[in-house]
Amino acid sequence: MKTITTTEDLAAFCQAAAKAPYVTVDTEFLRERTYYSKLCLIQLAFPGKGDENAVLVDPLVDGLDLEPLLELFRNTAVVKVFHAARQDLEIFFIDHGVIPDPLFDTQVAAMVCGFGEQVGYETLVKRIAKQALDKSSRFTDWSRRPLTEAQKKYALADVTHLRVIYEYLAAELERTGRARWVAEELAVLTDPETYITRPEDAWQRVKTRSSSPRFLAIVQALAAFREEYAQSRNIPRNRVFKDDALTELASTKPVTMEDLGRSRLLLREARKGPIADGILAAVAAGVECPKDQLPKAENDRDQLQVNPALADLLRVLLKARTEASGVAARLIAPAADLDAIAAGMRDVKALTGWRREVFGEDALRLCDGKLALTVKGRDVEVIEL
């Protein structure tokens, strides 16, 4: 197996790949000790058998310029195939400002082809490529050099089997007419906004038990400070302080360093120095936030007036439509969406795009009393009223 370590060799491979209809791509990276992922290895392959037309690219080699690969990513004549692409795409966007186009994600395609929700690569290799994967190198340190032969073999398998999987799924989507479904799902992955983390929005990822606007204002300020601090020093946000400590601080509203010292959940490093100063400033900003600028919890589902009988009927309808389409129920409409529909909400993902065709239209008609459900044997049948 070949490992590319020079820009010239990378350019030669990418020129050959540019003549192919698609190229499969995977990466190995580390993120345990940093905010941003550290790219350690890139795997590439285009149509062929075994290790033919498959290479490893070592981005840690001094002097290697990835521009030939980025140019291939921009080449719209070649489909770029990933499995569970989000983290790979984030690396290329953050480091180089490029999102491969056109994109194909085999995990997304497999979901709409009936392989279940968030199906793993190993499962697809077994079921489609009829091969077994050696996962012994999965959690190794990919930044260490030299790479072992076992590591190289493991890494290359992530793109060689992907060729068979892609060709099978692409044909299945053509047969079922569901390629548009995949395109809808990939819109999020190809949107640059997906990979931009704004400190002022970081609070929305923090789970809280209180929806008090003043409490949320403090959470917002603390989360923004933590995100800015972590980004500027390229350290994981949990190394600054964890979510449980954040919500504790929003509740106790510390004013002095002595107050911070009484926190049960705050790391020792956060009780002094710039982190402590930032915490106290953030708490003060949240406490003093003007009333007209206080944040509100979006779509607080706990406050919804859900019709429980209607929610149960929607679950039965979803089961019927899931069995008919072969698509995982949670992909079509998670439980929260069903409750929202039963509470009268219509700004729900399950009522948009291909989901509306498969389930949403019938769900709305059920809510309007235009459909009924009956059981015949073990099957649920839908009756027009």
pLDDT tens sequence across 173-227: 999 999 999 999 999 999 999 999 999 999 999 999 888 999 999 999 999 999 9
**2-195 belongs to CATH 3.30.930.10:** no
Structure tokens at 38: 């550290």
Burial 175-211 (b: 16+ CB within 10 A, else e): eeebeebbbebbeebbeeeebebebeebbeebebeee
CA distances from residue 301 to 15, 304, 341 in whole angstroms, order as listed: 52, 5, 11
Backbone dihedral angles phi then psi of residue 255, each to the nearest 5 degrees: -115, -30
Residue 303 has pLDDT above 70, yes or no: no
The ranges assigned to domains in the chain are: 2-195, 199-293, 301-384
Q: Are 291 and 328 in contact (CB under 8 A)?
A: no
d(CA 240, CA 226): 6
Question: Model confidence over 55-80: pLDDT tens digits?
Answer: 999 999 999 999 999 999 999 999 99
Structure tokens at 78: 């070649």
| β-strands 54-57, 38-45 pairing | antiparallel
Per-residue confidence at 1, pLDDT binned at 50, 70, 90? Answer: confident
pLDDT computed for residue 151 by the predictor = 95
Tell me which of 1.10.150, 3.30.1490, 1.20.140, 3.90.1640 is the CATH number of domain 301-384.
Answer: 1.10.150
Directed axis angle between helix 179-189 and helix 149-176, to 10°?
A: 130
User: What is the model's pTM?
Assistant: 0.91
Instruction: Tell me if domain 199-293 and domain 301-384 are identical in fold.
Output: yes
pLDDT computed for residue 278 by the predictor = 98
Average pLDDT over the chain, rounded to whole? Answer: 94
Percent share of the chain, pLDDT over 90: 86
| β-strands 371-376, 103-105 pairing | unpaired
Q: Give the residue among 263, 265, 88, 254 at the shortest CA–CA distance from 162.
A: 88
Q: Which helix (H) or strand (E) holds 81?
A: strand 79-82
Q: For domain 199-293, give the CATH superfamily.
A: HRDC domain (1.10.150.80)
d(CA 195, CA 361): 32
Question: Model confidence over 134-176: pLDDT tens digits?
Answer: 877 778 899 999 999 999 999 999 999 999 999 999 999 999 9
Structure tokens at 328: 């995982």
Q: Which helix (H) or strand (E) holds 179?
A: helix 179-189
pLDDT computed for residue 134 by the predictor = 81
Per-residue confidence at 339, pLDDT binned at 50, 70, 90? Answer: very high
